[in-house]
Structure 1
């Protein structure tokens, strides 16, 4: 009997990890393939003329759309996690979310004239990603026993590799399919990628060992009725407000993106006010940590404001200003979006070793300051590249250098941000704070998408220099207050 049990355990393990990690790894890899594949060509589709099969929108408007699209993905991760926790369970939430994402890509892939299916597709992808993204990570953690921290950390590292493999392959595959105005082939490839991910997710479901099958805190019947009523009122109110705005004749895409940007900023402002102004039985130490965390949140938002201009402003620069050849081989402009995940996969182990060796000598605020400084330096390089490009196309390796510098900044800020969010979270809000961390992405993406409007009034070198200056100044301010923040966070 014991021998039989041992064999069964071995069948469910891969290199010492639960077999379910492979299922979730592949699901996330294909979901990220679909997400980053669309993101790589979305700006070009929006700006392409109607005769070229695109939307014919101005570049600043297209940049703003891509910005709020990314912002809403992160914004909806908060309700997406709540729905899984109270209604669906993480496992069903991932399946439903992935199915909605696939439908969104299919909607965009249907080659019909008009914009309706495009907007519907983007809305479905946003909603589906908000449901899938936070919950698949929850399931990874649920595969491991609570005390098995080391193996769980290794499992998340494997999972992170899946994210970057999908992000690395997608821009090349999707952009080459979408060449010569074959946009719908690119969108279709993203749909196929998500379909593959869903198929193996269902097929490998038996290996998930019950992870995420039931909601963690299921709503009571009374709570369900209350939730349904509030949801109906909220959605109905939003629909009426949008209809009245359209009826007034003042609704435009540009104004709508500005409204969504303001809404995105208001969410974390309201949330932090709720935490700090309410009692919630927070200790003095917890309040101090939250005040310190707001500084880090703002720093992260500034970082993502610049970093997530990659699929828009930097993608456009690649198309218009660089010689798109690598080692003599031609590439698409969108293929440059593969530089970032490639470099992340290379340097993640290096930075993991570095932080272990530095230990407590360098605090979170100092790491954030370094991340901001590096993102600022990357745009100093962009300003120089833009100046050189005024006389002709420049080597695409300039962009590779920019992404290399940005990856140094990301690996100094992003993993540290996740860790410090958990560390500083008040006990009463511990389960919600990772969602709050993702709000920094949302705020940065939304504001960053609006910055491209500055290009109507300034040259590219001036634009890149302005954003670089904002990041460097923010880095200097954060560094100046680093010791005070370490005291508030309890690091000293």
Structure 2
């Protein structure tokens, strides 16, 4: 079934959630609980991976654990391509969201099981990766579908929606981290499973009256001939994957290092192939192609930004655990050490605090505000500064040095302001610049900025143990600032290519 954008907008109550469409509230609360489950799990996952088996962990080395975190993040966002494609061509955004939510819930249930060890871990990762890929691009696509493309409320609507992500991410590490430190890792993962169940219930109860027809359509359905070819390609593709796995296993080349390199290469190749497919499509007209070209510098800037931001849970996550003063005994009069997982709440807390301020600034400035490419440049510049700040406390430090935790908080705070300039704007502009035939898939392309960043991070984290910490932070910080300057320089060209989209 296909509906026009006008039909979908007419089916949605345009007021009812702080001056925004009522459906934004449904998406807000579903995303809150889904992100609660994801960030709660992620707050302790790194430590679960490198903690010893005797302490309930999986016993990987810290470097492998950090690389696994990056690969996991990369694969989650890569599968967003599949999620966007399934929505655009097979079932629509709403159905894809629901399928994804169910898979994620079962993934967290598998992770919370105290039996199975690494096998249970791999099964849970598969379910969460595929499930998140189905849900993440489509929940954003439905939010975008609640507004007319020229509705000035859209940017602030995405900022409000983004707050739900960070409210869930703020609460989760406290609950999951406390359960993990008081009981065990699996108790913490169990709380994440409960959070995902609540997300499902919120959606099932409230979606029909608030979301109307939005996300019910299939924008680019198969013709009967195309569907026949698709089924043949699917069977051949699955057979090829099985053959490759069998051959690499028998030849001893199915190693973590080789898989890591493969994912990194895939992270670079996928967005190029994806962009080329949309640009060359006969369904993409001249104006839409121009807008896609404008998207390129913003995409590259976002990749660099997420490369730094996502290291908050890998590089900085381990740094908090091993090189940050967390013992408060001398301050509060009795023995208490802050669980390392609690620091994963700093970033979302700051976003919840700053998001209304940034949203208010953009709303007040209106047409006088910076262009979208300049917002990207500002965000990327601040990400670079957040890493350059870390050079100061890490100069000359040893493996046993413990730094003041306020350095971490300051670094997070600077990056957060940058994130609020770039991330909600990126979601919004992806909706605005999307060719009509690729609306959900354009959100998948946006999410590939994080996939590519984390695929590259899987190799970058190896340098962390080779270089000094100050060199590592200084190099990436300086690189981000240089790229921010380039994006700012290209902004007039990008604005022209956006063909009237602000």
1:115 deviates by: 1.0
Cα pair distance change 1:187/1:364, threshold 3 Å? same
For residues 492 and 192 of structure 2, the distance between their equivalents in structure 1, rounded to whole angstroms, comes to 46
Query: Are 1:48 and 2:51 an aligned pair?
Result: yes
Q: Deviations over 1:200-240 (max 9, x none)?
A: 33233453454457442454555444333222221221121
Query: What is the aligned length?
Result: 481
Cα pair distance change 1:489/1:212, threshold 3 Å? closer
Matches within 5 A, 1:165-176: 165-176=167-178
| C-alpha contact 1:80 1:130 (8 A) present in aligned 2 | yes
1:59 deviates by: 2.1
In structure 2, what is the equivalent of residue 6 of structure 1? none
Cα pair distance change 1:384/1:181, threshold 3 Å? farther
1:290 deviates by: 3.3
In structure 1, what is the equivalent of residue 195 of structure 2? 193
1:190 deviates by: 0.7
For residues 74 and 229 of structure 1, the distance between their equivalents in structure 2, rounded to whole angstroms, comes to 26
1:126 deviates by: 0.7
| C-alpha contact 1:90 1:136 (8 A) present in aligned 2 | yes
Q: Deviations over 1:29-60 (max 9, x none)?
A: 11100111111111111111222222221222
81-90 or 332-341, which deviates more: 81-90
In structure 2, what is the equivalent of residue 335 of structure 1? 342
For residues 215 and 357 of structure 2, the distance between their equivalents in structure 1, rounded to whole angstroms, comes to 36
Equivalent in 479, 489, 492 of residue 470 of structure 1: 479
Give 3-state SS (helix, strand or coil) of 1:43's partner. helix
1:86 deviates by: 3.3
| C-alpha contact 1:139 1:211 (8 A) present in aligned 2 | no
Equivalent in 347, 350, 353 of residue 360 of structure 2: 353
For residues 472 and 213 of structure 1, the distance between their equivalents in structure 2, rounded to whole angstroms, comes to 38
17-26 or 182-191, which deviates more: 17-26
In structure 1, what is the equivalent of residue 101 of structure 2? 98
Q: Deviations over 1:322-354 (max 9, x none)?
A: 122688574211111111111111112222233
Q: TM-score of the superposition, structure 2-length normalised?
A: 0.86
1:403 deviates by: 0.6
Equivalent in 449, 460, 466 of residue 451 of structure 1: 460
Cα pair distance change 1:83/1:261, threshold 3 Å? same
Query: Are 1:378 and 2:381 an aligned pair?
Result: no
What runs of 5+ residues in structure 2 fail to find an aligned partner? 1-11
| C-alpha contact 2:141 2:440 (8 A) present in aligned 1 | no
398-407 or 214-223, which deviates more: 214-223
Q: Deviations over 1:145-168 (max 9, x none)?
A: 759946666654543332221111
Q: TM-score of the superposition, structure 1-length normalised?
A: 0.88
Equivalent in 408, 412, 426 of residue 417 of structure 2: 408
Query: Are 1:136 and 2:139 an aligned pair?
Result: yes
In structure 1, what is the equivalent of residue 7 of structure 2? none
| C-alpha contact 1:164 1:344 (8 A) present in aligned 2 | yes
Give 3-state SS (helix, strand or coil) of 1:111's partner. coil
Q: Deviations over 1:401-451 (max 9, x none)?
A: 001100121122222323433444456645532221111111012112321
For residues 199 and 137 of structure 1, the distance between their equivalents in structure 2, rounded to whole angstroms, comes to 19
1:355 deviates by: 3.1
| C-alpha contact 1:40 1:175 (8 A) present in aligned 2 | yes
| C-alpha contact 2:278 2:284 (8 A) present in aligned 1 | no
For residues 21 and 490 of structure 2, the distance between their equivalents in structure 1, rounded to whole angstroms, comes to 44
Give 3-state SS (helix, strand or coil) of 1:308's partner. helix
| C-alpha contact 2:84 2:443 (8 A) present in aligned 1 | no
Equivalent in 42, 58, 63 of residue 39 of structure 1: 42
Q: Deviations over 1:141-188 (max 9, x none)?
A: 55x575994666665454333222111101111112112671111111
In structure 1, what is the equivalent of residue 84 of structure 2? 81
| C-alpha contact 2:163 2:355 (8 A) present in aligned 1 | no
1:88 deviates by: 3.0
What runs of 5+ residues in structure 1 fail to find an aligned partner? 1-8
Matches within 5 A, 1:284-299: 287-299=289-301
For residues 425 and 92 of structure 1, the distance between their equivalents in structure 2, rounded to whole angstroms, comes to 21
Give 3-state SS (helix, strand or coil) of 2:313's partner. helix
Give 3-state SS (helix, strand or coil) of 2:114's partner. coil
Equivalent in 258, 269, 272 of residue 269 of structure 1: 272
